[in-house]
């Protein structure tokens, strides 16, 4: 009799990701790597950075920090999984020019510095600095809105809004 009153579908709040880098926000299709541009690893956007500081785009837990410091995985409290991969093929630098400021398992706040990196080292080695920011558990995503085409400042402008399935 009261089942309709008590079985309301839980409303899922969207997760808003702030720019993790300062630079220009672009479509993922502009990344010169098919794993990212064809959304094989997940959907999202990319930022072409103008400075070498990567910050947390949202309050989250560090679930994976690559030992080379070129990429980091975060998970939000509601389950969104975020991968940020600094540059393309930068794993080949074996950590040169990357300095992680957090550790795996650490809780981070939006705007907190995660990794500092040297843009010149990456560019001089011949690697693109464009940085994909992707939601790796795209199968759990109900909707996603990307805010691209503009210059963004780390920790300030919203670049992604993700709503997970209930």
Does residue 129 contact residue 122 with C-beta atoms inside 8 Å? yes
Phi/psi-derived region of residue 115, left when phi > 0, alpha when psi is between -120 and 50, beta in every other case: beta
Q: Which of 27, 64, 70, 85 is catalytic?
A: 85
Q: Is 85 a catalytic residue?
A: yes
61 close to 45: Cβ distance less than 8 angstroms = no
Torsion over CA of 85, 111, 30 and 129, rounded to 10 degrees? -60
Residue 37 neighbours by CB under 8 Å, 6+ apart: 28, 29, 30, 31
51: nearest Cα among 131, 150, 109:
131
Residue in the structure block whose two tokens are 């072409």: 48
Q: Which residue in 56, 53, 62 sits closest to 133, CA to CA?
A: 56
Catalytic residue ranges = 85
């Amino acid at each position: 009799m009261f089942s309709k009153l008590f079985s309301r579908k839980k409303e899922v709040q969207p997760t808003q990701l702030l720019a993790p880098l300062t630079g220009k926000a672009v479509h993922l299709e502009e990344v010169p790597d098919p794993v990212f541009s064809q959304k094989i690893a997940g959907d999202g956007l990319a930022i072409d950075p103008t400075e070498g500081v990567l910050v947390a785009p949202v309050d989250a837990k560090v679930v994976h920090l690559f030992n080379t410091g070129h990429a980091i995985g975060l998970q939000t409290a509601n389950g969104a999984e975020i991968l940020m991969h600094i540059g393309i093929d930068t794993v080949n630098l074996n950590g040169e020019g990357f300095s992680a400021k957090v550790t795996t398992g650490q809780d981070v706040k939006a705007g907190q510095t995660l990794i500092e990196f040297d843009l010149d080292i990456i560019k001089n080695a011949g690697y693109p600095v464009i940085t994909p920011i992707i939601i790796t558990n795209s199968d759990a995503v109900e909707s996603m809105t990307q805010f691209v085409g503009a210059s963004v400042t780390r920790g300030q402008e919203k670049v992604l809004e993700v709503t997970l399935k209930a």
